[in-house]
Amino acid sequence: MSEQIEIFTDGACKGNPGPGGWGALLVFKGVEKELWGGEADTTNNRMELTAAIRALAELKRPCDVRLVTDSEYVMKGMQEWLPNWKKRGWKTAAKQPVKNADLWQQLDEQVNRHQVTWQWVRGHTGHPGNERADQLANRGVEEARSLKHA
């Protein structure tokens, strides 16, 4: 039986594109770990993906993960779109290159290391884990903004 861990992720962007941040809260046996970061010029979707990638990459061994996100983009990508993108060589049904393919490939790699169950929650409705991830993502935005103006 692998270790069970809960992960809450979120991405934020001020302007799309603009300064962005990502945040993740990992909860394991009641112990919490906060992760966050930011980029000076990015999009909301890239930050949502980065949060999930960085959180899963933090796990040193295969785990049983419940990953909670408020991003329908990440959920649909992982549960519906990804298998077809891979079959088509990272092209959409319209034969266009998949947006953010670099991050989707990294997320796919991380997910394959673990047993991941995805759960979607509506953002900004007071869900404690999601609110914490949102705060961390906004901390990442602030850091990205300060880098931009440094």
List of domains in the chain: 5-148 (3.30.420.10)
**Greatest Cα pair distance in the chain:** 48
Beta-bridge partner residues of 25: 8, 34
Band of residue 35 on the pLDDT scale cut at 50, 70, 90: very high
**Residue 150 pLDDT > 80, yes or no?**
no
Positive or negative, the Cα torsion across 69, 35, 116, 77? positive
Residues in the chain: 150
Cα angle 12, 3, 120; round to 5: 35
Active-site positions read 10-11, 48, 70, 124, 134
**Residue 22 pLDDT > 70, yes or no?**
yes
Residue with tokens 């759960």: 119
Query: 64: annotated binding-site residue?
Result: no
Lowest mean pLDDT among 3-17, 36-50, 117-131, 135-149: 135-149
Token output for 145: 């903004």
pLDDT of residue 149: 67
Global confidence as pTM: 0.95
Distance CA 70, CA 81 (A): 17
pLDDT of residue 3: 76
DSSP reduced 3-state for 72 = helix
pLDDT higher for 54 or 147?
A: 54
Cα 69 versus chain centre, distance: 7
pLDDT (tens digit, 9 = 90+) per residue, 110-149? Answer: 999 999 999 999 998 999 999 999 999 999 999 999 876 6
Mean pLDDT of 47-76: 97
**Residue 37 pLDDT > 70, yes or no?**
yes
Which uninterrupted H or E stretch holds 18? strand 18-28
Mean pLDDT of 48-69: 97
**Residue 70 pLDDT > 70, yes or no?**
yes
Q: How many CA atoms lie within 13 A of 69 on its CB side?
A: 29
Mean pLDDT of 4-30: 96
